Amino acid sequence: MRIPFEEVTETLKEKLIKYGSPEDYAGQVAYVMAENSLEGVYTHGINRYMRLINNIRDGLTMPKEIAGKIAGLGGYEIWDGKLGFGIVNAQLCTNRAIELARTHGIACVSLRNTSHWLRGGTYGKMTAEAGMLGIHFTNARTNMCAWGTQQHCLGNNPLVLAVPRANGDHVIADTSFSQYSYGKLQLARLEGRMMPQPGGYDENGQLSCDPAVILKSQKILPMGEHKGASIAMLLDLITAVSSFGNCASMVAKLPGNDEHSFSQTFIVINPLALGDQETFSAIVENAVNCVLNAKPLPGGTVHYPGQSMKRYRTENLEQGIPVNEGVWTDICAL
């Protein structure tokens, strides 16, 4: 089924207000979750809404709280999220990092004790819209195997990289360091699909393509073997230490059945503080055109990271957002 973007946004907002959210926070969260699905990131949009509601019910997300500054020196600040909405906190800290980068040229805002930020690309997009470079990352509870073990002792710790383009079609990568994100596994399970390659182990220690089996064992594989595991561990350490918050193993020991009390880092670089727009844009377009002009493999296509967002947005604004009927029924019944 397909539902107009405006209807989805208003419905999600209405339900959040019912669960104790102030109207402005509810509006922010509803818009971002609807926009995630609008731009084709179904794993971190409407399909994840019931998990957010359950986290509010369980006291893992506090809908009336918002992050506050703890300490700062120059372009580096530490904020505490107070378990408020991850989306609201991440937007606040992204905007603060952008503001600091205008003054200092580069800024780092590290956030502790926050909730899931949903799609990290949202904050990369915000940074690119401000004409700046973004490096944003979050940790997670231990949900991925370190290379060489079948024990989930690392988080898959998503990383977002963003570079603006003058035409607004920004270059944005948003990736976790597992072979498949939990969101993609959950979507595949919902749709009854197998993964094209093994994504983790079953409970007997055998590699599996079955998303339901992998989700049950919580033994997902790192992307790129030891390389993905190494990057995930370092992202976890950097965000936890820079915010003086929880690392993945500490998050895993917290009470509750879902993820909360994360650490996140928002780094913003203002290239125009030391250079000019014309040269900056020329560098970006040179790199993008090199990729787009590459000869695709037979039957394949070539695109740069983030290019598909515009296509999904146009299509879903015209036709409505694709929504799983069971998920929408549950939301409307709240």
**Residues with active-site annotation:** 44
How many Å apart are CA 221 and CA 189, to the nearest integer? 17
